Structure formats: C-alpha cells, structure tokens
Amino acid sequence: MKKVCLVTGGSSGIGLAIVKLFLAKNYQVFNLDISASGFGEFCQCDITNTAQVTEIIAGIAAQQAIDVLVSNAGIHFSGNIENTTEADLERVFNINVKGAYAAVKAVLPSMKAQQHGAIIFMASDQALVAKHNSFAYNLSKAALASMAKTTALDYAQFNIRANAVCPGTIATPLYHHAIDNYCAKSGANKAQVHAEEAALQPLGRLGQAEEVAELVYFLGSDKAKFITGSLQVIDGGYTAQ
C-alpha cells in the first residue's frame, strides 16, 4: 500500500514541486487547493474555511492512514505596519496561519491513532530574520515556526514529528508576483531587481522550488525520524550573514 501525503496549496510554486516529488517517490498525494494543477488527487479547498478543511481531511483519513502533511498554502504581502490595514493582516493570517492551524488540527486525530506521522510547515527565512516592508508576512512565518515547535513537543509522545522548512528567496510565482508589485509601485527595473536579489544570496543565485521539495521529502521520510521541532533553513546562506 502506498504511503499518503497531503499538501495544502499544491498547485503552484513550491507546493507543486512537493506534490510532483512525492508522486515520483510512489506516494499517494492529495492536493488541497482552490484550483487544480493536474498533479495528485485534487481536493478543492478554501484553506481559510476550517470546517471545509476538517471535512476533507477527515474523509481522507477514514479511508487510509495519512503519513505526511505538508502545510504549504500561503500568500505574500508587502508593507510596513503603517501600510498594513486590519483587513490585510487578517487575510495574511487567515491563509498563512489559520490555514495551517486547520490542516494540522484535522490530521492529528488519525496520526495519533496510528502512532506515527510527519508534519512539515512551510515557514521562511523570515521566521529567523526581519526584512523591510514585510510586517504581516514576517509575523505569519514566525508564527508557523512557533507552531512547528509546540506541535513537536505536544505530539512527540504519539511518534508524530513536526518541523518547519525556512526557504530564502526562491524563484516561484509568489516571488515573481512580489517583484512585479514592487516594480509597479517603485518604477524599478525588473531585471535589475532580480539581479540584485540574486546578489544578496551568498551562493549568488535564487533557490529553486525543486530544491525545497527535496528537503521537505527528507523531513517526511524515515531518514529524518529523529528530527522534530526544528527550523530547517534552505536560503543559500542568507541568514548566516
């Protein structure tokens, strides 16, 4: 019987790379997202709707054990605290934090019953360091890092592991959207901004979604069975500076 992996926000970017890799590793993969990608078993889901998330995951768990949950769904938002409205803050937290809360809470009963499971939160290098004009996003990613630690401690007794992956600047649609927004507001040259972003990384380039997926797969596998409560940085050396 195939192992089962659930991925939230698995239709693009890092999430899609994760879905593809787990499929290649012979997992049965469920993608909980608002739109389909053509990869994995698609479950149309609004991650901010806790009742819907709970119902979908409970339905899957009733049919088979869930081995891995990758809580990946998230959005980016640029702005300092003064430029962040209450509605902006709520939207970022509803998707990035409340969505993770809903998915993890829904998967825990089955993982507890089967006495095993791996949960991976998609945090960010911004769980470790601050960046300009990133008040709400930074806050949400720090919250996910905290969730990984507390979940790891609370559920170690059930052989459930929880870790957070902390990517740096990764060339995904989310990244390109953020750069496009910045250039539209500032008038900056897009090619120059990309070059500057690459130069900020000690390795001299942006990360790739497939590289993040490899780390996620490792953390979900038995090779990482003594790793829990950790923040795994994959940022080209950015936070080591």
Which is catalytic among the residues 101, 137, 175, 217?
A: 137
pLDDT in tens, 32-70: 999 999 999 999 999 999 999 999 999 999 999 999 999
For 231, residues 6+ apart whose C-beta sits below 8 A from its C-beta are 123, 127, 128, 145, 148, 163, 164, 166
Instruction: Give the pLDDT confidence score for residue 185 in this predicted structure.
Output: 84
Question: What residue type is 128 in one-letter code?
Answer: L
Whether the predicted pLDDT of 158 surpasses 90? yes
Considering only residues 191 and 141, tell me which one the structure prediction assigns the higher pLDDT: 141
* Arithmetic mean of pLDDT, 201-224: 97
Instruction: Give the pLDDT confidence score for residue 186 in this predicted structure.
Output: 87
pTM here is 0.95
For the chain, give the mean pLDDT.
Answer: 96
Q: Contact at 8 Å (CB) between 46 and 52? A: yes
Instruction: Give the pLDDT confidence score for residue 181 in this predicted structure.
Output: 85
State the Cα–Cα distance between residues 236 and 14, nearest whole angstrom.
Answer: 16
Question: What residues pair up with 118 in beta bridges, in sequence order?
Answer: 68, 161
Instruction: Give the pLDDT confidence score for residue 174 in this predicted structure.
Output: 79
Domains, the chain, ranges and CATH? 4-169+208-236 (3.40.50.720)
Give the residue among 211, 210, 209, 171 at the shortest CA–CA distance from 193: 171
Give me Rg for the CA atoms of the chain. 17
**φ, ψ of residue 41 in degrees (nearest 5):** -90, 110
Instruction: Give the pLDDT confidence score for residue 194 in this predicted structure.
Output: 87
pLDDT in tens, 79-110: 999 999 999 999 999 999 999 999 999 999 99
Task: Tell me if residue 137 is catalytic.
Answer: yes
Percentage of the chain exceeding pLDDT 90: 90
* Arithmetic mean of pLDDT, 191-200: 90
Whether the predicted pLDDT of 132 surpasses 90? yes
How confident is residue 171, by pLDDT bands cut at 50, 70 and 90?
very high
Question: What residue type is 102 in one-letter code?
Answer: A
Instruction: Give the pLDDT confidence score for residue 175 in this predicted structure.
Output: 87
